Amino acid sequence: MSRYELRFSGDGGQGLITAGIIMAKAASIYEGKQAVQSQSYGPEARGGASKSEVIISDDPIDYPKVTQCDALLAMTQEAANKYSHDLKEGGVLLIDSDLVKNVPPGNFKTIAFPIINTAKNDVGREIVANIVALGAMVALTGQVTRENAEKAVLSSVPEAFLELNKKAFSMGFDKAVAASA
């Protein structure tokens, strides 16, 4: 079965729902696969736990939520603790190395780099940390091509910020490749 399950998790306001939407859009609109994105979040406008789930498949997708996660992004320690339990053996865990100090144990591959700091210092704006993370997830999961994912990013962000997001996406992609080498 080709079903592939991703979860983007962290705090509300980190842009993880947006990152999930762009991943699913890349798969569904640009890659020609099936994709469903769903989310759960608390009543707070900011803060509180937030997660965005994406299922990608060659076949129609029934259950829209994660059953056994193939790839998990955790942008907070809390998210890493809470969501790594259903990560598949051989799955991928991507964490922000500044924020997740205790790497949860398990038979999966952990990739760590300072995601928020990459956005802040290398790209120039902390607000695009979600796109840095997305670039990394695209590189680590191989579910959509780099080109299609970039198209999805550029069609989803405001025109004035195309270059910023393009840079964030590339930086995330390259850092993930380097960190997993």
Partner 1 sequence: MSKKVAFLQGNEAASHGALYAGCNFFAGYPITPSTEVAEVMSAELPKIGGKFIQMEDEIGAMAAILGAALAGSKVLTSTSGPGLSLKQELIGYGCIAEIPCVIYNVMRGGPSTGMPTGPSQSDVMAAKWGTHGDHPAICLTPASVQETYEEVIRAFNLSEKYRTPVMVMPDEIVAHMRERIVFPEKGEIEVVPRKTPTVPPEQYKPYDTSFGDVPPLAAYGTGYKFHVTGLNKMPDGFPTTKAEVVQAEEERQVRKVDANVDDIVTFEEYLLDDAEIVVVAYGSTSRSARYAVNAAREQGIKAGMFRIKTFWPFPDKQIKALAQKAKGFIVPEMNLGMCANEIERNVQGKAPVLGIFRVDGEPINPDQIVEKIKEVK
What is the smallest separation between the CB atom of 47 and partner 1, expressed in angstroms?
14
User: Between residues 63 and 178, which has the closer beta carbon with respect to partner 1?
Assistant: 63
Rule CB under 8 A: is residue 35 a binding residue for partner 1?
Answer: yes
User: Between residues 35 and 99, which has the closer beta carbon with respect to partner 1?
Assistant: 35
Taking the C-alpha atoms of residue 73 and residue 67, their distance in angstroms, rounded to an integer, is 16
Return the range that interacts with partner 1 (CB under 8 A); candidates 38-46, 95-103, 108-116, 138-146.
38-46
What is the smallest separation between the CB atom of 61 and partner 1, expressed in angstroms?
8
Residues in the interface with partner 1 (CB under 8 A) total 20
What is the smallest separation between the CB atom of 25 and partner 1, expressed in angstroms?
4
Return the range that interacts with partner 1 (CB under 8 A); candidates 18-26, 124-132, 137-145, 171-179.
18-26
Task: Please identify which residue in 9, 14, 18, 28 interacts with partner 1, judged by CB under 8 A.
Answer: 28
State the DSSP code for 127: G
Task: Please identify which residue in 6, 16, 19, 24 interacts with partner 1, judged by CB under 8 A.
Answer: 24
Taking the C-alpha atoms of residue 5 and residue 36, their distance in angstroms, rounded to an integer, is 10
State the DSSP code for 31: S
In order of 121, 151, 172, the CA distances from 118 in angstroms are 5, 22, 8
Sites for partner 1 among residues 46-105 (CB under 8 A): 62-65, 67
User: Between residues 100 and 149, which has the closer beta carbon with respect to partner 1?
Assistant: 149
* Closest by CA position to 154, among listed 14, 22, 16: 22
What is the smallest separation between the CB atom of 38 and partner 1, expressed in angstroms?
5
Neighbours of 101 (CB within 10 A): 9
Token pair, residue 145, equals: 């091509």
Please say whether the dihedral angle defined by the alpha carbons of residues 80, 135, 67 and 112, taken in this order, is positive or negative: negative
Token pair, residue 28, equals: 């569904």
Burial class (CB in 10 A: 0-12, 13-18, 19+), 43: exposed
Q: Which residues bind partner 1 (CB under 8 A)?
A: 21, 24-25, 28-29, 34-43, 62-65, 67
